[in-house]
Structure 1
Amino acid sequence: MSETKALKHYFGVELAHHLSSLIKPHFPNFPSDSFVQSVANQIEPLELKGRVAVIADELRNALPADYSEALNILLNILGPENETEQGMFTNGYFLMPIAFFVEKYGLQHFEISMNALYEITKRHTSEYAIRPYLERYPDECLKYFNNWLNDTNSHVRRLVSEGTRPRLPWAKRMNAIKGNPANNLALLAPLLNDPSPYVRKSVANHLNDLTKDYRDTTLDWILHLDLKGDSINKVIRHGLRSLASSGDPEALSLLEIL
């Protein structure tokens, strides 16, 4: 059974009960029974993303109509930050519907939603939820990203790279930021030598994405880097893996000097 097939069963009635129990102390009027029943009525035939969407939609129906009030309630149930670097596939699955809630319902409320995604990513991930914001508010997002590059939390720094990847797995493909890969590369540059291997892996995967869609620009950028240090060289090697496997002569030549 694939990981997504097995994981989908997590997003069902039991999770609805769990979310309800977390929300009730912060919103006593939360209609627990009808929330759980509404989830139960829809969830069975759906795959993972559909199940997450149902729970997010039913949260929207059950919480206060005012988005900022509803979001504040959800922020109160996020729990402790993820102190490991094991990522979304080990911790915080129950937050997937909350991230989708922000993704789907928060676009008209940019600042409070970006703050929510910042908090969610420290516990789970916002790499999918942030993408509609980047598409609608590229300049505003870039200001946030440039601040997050210096964040002490590695999950936040990783979000700058992972959330902007053109070919993020499980996500719709996305163009370079503002249609120019130089914007992506400018964000990646400070992360090339990040102290976290978790962050550097994301940077390498992002570079690999860029080599597929913006080969010449990406290779030219790499050629002008100061390629010193094992960490940076490992990132570049991993980022060139698709070009290398295809026998790209310029990529292979670059790898020889690393």
Structure 2
Amino acid sequence: MSEYIPLKYYFDRDLALHLADLIQSEYPRFTITSFVESVSTGVENKELKARVEVIANTLKQHLPTDYEEALAILLKILGPENKTEEGMFTNGYFLMPVAYFVERYGLDHFDLSLHAMYEITKRHTSEYAIRPYLIANSDRCMTYFQNWIKDPNSHVRRLVSEGTRPRLPWAKKIPPLKNDVQNNLSLLEKLMCDSSRYVQKSVANHINDLTKDNPEAVLTWIQKHISDNHGTNPKIIKHGLRTLIKSKDEHALELSRQVEQGV
């Protein structure tokens, strides 16, 4: 059995070399030695998120100062799309600093950055990168979501649910979209019958997040969803209500029984 290595240790000199090689093939002026040495020194004794930040910031220092030009280079090194629903971190982890680059430096180029997130999430994830954009202009993001929610790529559909989760792990807690839980629920409604288990799990986790601050609104919404016979997925409902079920909430327990019995 191979020894477990914490993810943070993958963000080191070797990763810097890998990124530098990819970038220089698209941008010959990229100074590999300077980039690698800066990253190697900067990540020492730091945890995962701080290491990712160091690499992204060092990319900023070594790429063209124009964000549009720099992003165009980074988008050329993304590699092939992930055709499975696994490996976003095990295989696509090297793109985490690229996603953070968009998160940190792209707000003044909203549409360009949303396009970049769309491409990144097909290989890694943009669930963290998109959160500052939600806070800055949720209406504009919602316009993109209306298309993404119908996208044939399950990673893109999942981004709509996962990126808007109020309590996304490893991320700062955010309020419901436009401070109205109904906006979140309207997005989830379109994903309740999604064929992808990957998306289903995200939807359930998002519902569970919402129950912690808005339990009655969520329960009323689920009751209506069941009553309207929208082809409810019992696993999404039960997993989404797991915190309320664990606390013995009567309404949640009843809804769980209903979906089990196909009522």
How would you bin the TM-score normalised by the shorter chain?
over 0.9
In structure 2, the residue matched to 1:7 is 7
* Matched letter for residue 197 of structure 1: R
In structure 1, the residue matched to 2:106 is 106
Once the two structures are superposed, residues 73-109 of structure 1 have per-residue CA deviations (whole angstroms, 9 ceiling, x without a partner) of 0000000000000152332000000000000000111
Cα deviation for residue 35 of structure 1 reads 0.5
In structure 1, the residue matched to 2:200 is 200
* Matched letter for residue 53 of structure 2: A
Once the two structures are superposed, residues 12-60 of structure 1 have per-residue CA deviations (whole angstroms, 9 ceiling, x without a partner) of 1100000000000110000111011111111111000000000000000
Cα deviation for residue 231 of structure 1 reads 5.9
Once the two structures are superposed, residues 85-134 of structure 1 have per-residue CA deviations (whole angstroms, 9 ceiling, x without a partner) of 01523320000000000000001110000000000000000000000001
In structure 1, the residue matched to 2:152 is 152
* Matched letter for residue 112 of structure 1: L
- Asked if 1:143 is matched to 2:149, the reply is no
Once the two structures are superposed, residues 204-226 of structure 1 have per-residue CA deviations (whole angstroms, 9 ceiling, x without a partner) of 00000000011111111011013
Distance, in Å, in 1 between the alignment partners of 2:232 and 2:27 is 47
Distance, in Å, in 1 between the alignment partners of 2:201 and 2:122 is 17
* Matched letter for residue 225 of structure 2: L
Instruction: Report the more deviating stretch, 98-107 or 88-97.
Output: 88-97
Once the two structures are superposed, residues 147-192 of structure 1 have per-residue CA deviations (whole angstroms, 9 ceiling, x without a partner) of 1011010000000000000000111001000000100000000100
Report runs of 4+ in structure 1 exceeding 6 Å deviation: none
Distance, in Å, in 1 between the alignment partners of 2:88 and 2:51 is 17
In structure 1, the residue matched to 2:49 is 49
In structure 1, the residue matched to 2:251 is 250
Distance, in Å, in 2 between the alignment partners of 1:12 and 1:151 is 35
Give the secondary structure class of the aligned counterpart of 2:86: coil
Runs of at least 5 residues in structure 2 that lack an aligned partner in the other structure: none
* Matched letter for residue 34 of structure 2: S
Distance, in Å, in 2 between the alignment partners of 1:53 and 1:5 is 20
Cα deviation for residue 229 of structure 1 reads 7.8
Instruction: Report the more deviating stretch, 204-213 or 225-234.
Output: 225-234
In structure 2, the residue matched to 1:62 is 62
CA contact (8 A) 1:87 1:125 kept: no
TM-score computed with the length of structure 1 as normaliser: 0.96
- Asked if 1:177 is matched to 2:184, the reply is no
Q: Measured at CA, do residues 231 and 249 of structure 1 come closer, stay the same or move farther in structure 2, by a change above 3 Å?
A: closer
In structure 2, the residue matched to 1:96 is 96
Q: Spell out the pairing of 1:28-43 with structure 2 (5 A cutoff).
A: 28-43=28-43
In structure 1, the residue matched to 2:125 is 125
Fraction of identical pairs, as percent: 58
TM-score computed with the length of structure 2 as normaliser: 0.94
In structure 2, the residue matched to 1:16 is 16
